[in-house]
Amino acid sequence: MSTPPVASEDVPYAGEMPMLGLGTWQNDDPDECAHAVETALEAGYRHIDTAQAYRNEESVGRGIAAADVPREDVFLATKVWIDNLAYDDVLATTEESLDRLGVDYVDLLYVHWPSRTYDPEGTFRALDELVDAGHVEHVGISNFEPEQVDEAIEQSSAPIFANQVELHPLLPQAELREHCADRDVEMVAYSPLARGEVFNVPELTEIAERHDASEAQVSLAWLREKGVTAIPKATSEEHILDNWGSLGVDLDADDVAAIDAIDRTDRRVDPDFAPW
Active site residues: 54
In sign, the C-alpha dihedral spanning 195, 138, 10, 184 is: positive
- Side chain identity at residue 251, one-letter code: L
Please return the burial class of 123, using the count of CB atoms within 10 Å of its CB with bins 0-12, 13-18 and 19+. Answer: buried
Among residues 242, 150, 159, the alpha carbon closest in space to that of 193 is found at 242
Cα separation, 266 vs 273, in Å, equals 18
